[in-house]
Structure 1
Amino acid sequence: MTTTNETTVAEFILLGFTSVKHLKLLLFIMFLFIYIVTVSGNILIVAIVYGDAHLHTPMYFFLSNLSCLEILYTSNIIPKMLFNIMMENPTVPFTECIVQLYLFGSLGSTECFLLGVMAYDRYVAICKPLHYSILMATRRSILMSLCSWSTGFIATFGAIVLVSQLHFCGPNKIKHFFCDLQPVLKLSCKNAYTISTVSWILASTILIGSCLLILASYVRIILSMIRISSSKGRQKALSTCSAHITVVVIFYGAMISMYVSPNTGKNEESNKISSLLYTVVTPLMNPFIYTLRNQDVKQALHKAIIRTCKYN
């Protein structure tokens, strides 16, 4: 509730990269290039997966879901960041800030669940190949995908409602390049310890829980790979998992560092760098990670290029 001596904050100022104003044109060009490559690369993956019948398998279905998620994830952050870089006093309305925070949390949670499902898919494919068609049937794969998306958006809704009920009366400067939870909570006029604790428990449950699922899947995969007699068979099994492992290490390393480990000793600049890893770098790398070492995707892309050339 607003007291008579307090003014309710209607908008926040995103300080972002104001400490390096002399580099703002360079930052704008760099992030614009990254955004174009990220969106184009992930759209290309979706188009290839849905355009080639040989890729209509659970593994590539989940990959196309991940690409769609990365497009939304990066579009929630970078366009506004580009606008703010060129503004003298970059502001964001309170409601828009809450919406961005909700989408960020929901899409991040969904990515955790999707990565967990993808690890389970690889576990079934390598450890239970004879049961793969049953355990990962089309209907079941679609259900897993829907559960990942819906759970991601439902899980963070309660916490965002609590944040939206907080009172902000100044200062209104967020020391970040987007509306992240902790920088926003620091500006609350009242003690936000309860919401901070609830958010930490929620983030820890989602991140650690899905990470343990992935870890358990890969422990079983490694044990199965050890029992494979031929080196060619082991190499093939490893090649189907290496891309997923790379994404998991980068994404979870940065996210756990930011939202689960204690914030003691961390400054705003190091937090920004960590945030760039999962908001900008990971979505950019996904198209390259999943295509450069994937023969199926490269062959499908080659076929698509040949078909396009024929029609033209």
Structure 2
Amino acid sequence: MNDQTPNTADLDTDFISVGLTAINTEQEALALLKDELDERFVQACQAILACRGRVVVTGMGKSGHIGRKIAATLASTGTPAFFMHPGEAGHGDLGMLVQGDVLIAISNSGQSDEIKMLIPVVKQLGIPLISISRDRRGFLPKSANIALTLGNFEEACPLGLAPTSSTTATLALGDALAVALLHARGFTSNDFALSHPAGALGRKLLTRVKDVMHTENLPVVRADTSLDKALLVMTGGRLGLAVVVDEQDGVVGIFTDGDLRRKLADNVSLSAPMNTLMTKHPKHTTGEMRASDALTLMNEHAISQLLVLDNGRLAGVISIHDLLKAGVS
């Protein structure tokens, strides 16, 4: 049987202190990175904005993992991008790269053999090359059209071996590029929604009131309709309300289940007309409003239903239950 007794030195480790030291070291790396943002960063942004094709990101090992995230962030914020594995690129995937693209190559040392192998083809195709490395001394930055650098900092790994501070700085630089480009493109939340249709975020940004509102068998009554007749319409509509309209079908009021309970407590006559019982100027919206904004409006006014109007006429009714059922929050 193997001896599984833990090393007593491990048990004496101050884990919080070591963790804080790692975080502080990476913070120092980010501070140094800020000094590296100069005209080269501007040139990189301009080159990407001028790109007629896609931004192709490549990197080996941990740089590749970060490169995948950078490509994903660019793609989701208005800059078409994808990741190309440099090892696979040397065996056919380099065909992904075509004239009109921009290549971002990541190598902390600037000496990645897998990327060095690709440089002659990249040059032959005339594809702009943006490098990201610690400094400008490696083969990659010397070959690049634009050489972005991270700065001279220590890795958070006490051995100085595991990429830690360098990967954090590279990711931050990639985010800086994506955000700068987002601003330059005038990228909006609506644009963001188009690339994020799935999940709660997509539902919140894409779902409109018209997508979830009731449009059939709407409970509509005239202003002179008596309460007893209006109750029959409300029951048939099954929305807990009646919408009061004038002779031109313009909406003039609303009468809800809550109104009914209050009126019955006041011993109102069942023959009373709607124009004496309704709430005038009811809250309303349009079918084009985001469903999430409609939910906010209902919460602000403590109401559970909202009328949807088109040029003053009833187009639909939406309720909080409809929104919650559709996953809008």
TM-score range, shorter chain: under 0.3
Higher helix share: 1
Q: Which has the higher strand share?
A: 2
TM-score (norm 1): 0.21
**Larger radius of gyration between Structure 1 and Structure 2:** 2
**Larger RCO, structure (CA 8 Å, separation 6 or more):** 1
TM-score normalised according to structure 2 size: 0.20
